[in-house]
């Protein structure tokens, strides 16, 4: 489960809004009226928390995109 420790999912809720969730969590970290808003916020949360994987689910619940988010304000960013 180490790979999932720093990941977030953007999923559609039954009411049509979009939620940012953490694997295994029962509650959403953030909800938004649009998928774009939820994706933006999920990226901010992951960057702040040291980077990780962002999985974006479509309206059918299937993962349609996956992105690696870099850590924000990394004092030792990789060279090259």
Q: Where are the domains of the chain?
A: 2-63
Alpha-helical runs (H) found in 1-80: 35-48
pLDDT tens-digit series, residues 11-39: 999 999 999 999 988 899 999 999 999 99
Instruction: Give the span between the Cα atoms of 35 and 20, in whole angstroms.
Output: 10
Number of Cβ atoms within 10 Å of the Cβ of 54: 21
In the predicted model, what is the mean pLDDT of residues 42-61?
96
- Predicted confidence (pLDDT) at residue 79 exceeds the cutoff of 90: no
Phi-psi region of 16 (alpha: psi -120 to 50; beta: other; left: phi over 0): left
> Dihedrals φ, ψ of 66, to 5°?
-135, 135
pLDDT, greater one: 57 or 24: 57
């Amino acid at each position: 489960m180490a790979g999932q420790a720093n990941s977030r999912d953007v999923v559609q809720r039954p009411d049509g809004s979009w939620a940012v969730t953490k694997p295994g969590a029962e509650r959403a970290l953030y909800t938004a009226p649009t998928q774009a808003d939820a994706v933006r916020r999920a990226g901010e949360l992951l960057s702040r928390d040291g980077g990780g994987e962002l999985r974006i689910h479509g309206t059918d619940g299937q993962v349609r995109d996956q992105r690696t988010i870099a850590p924000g304000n990394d004092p030792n960013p990789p060279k090259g």
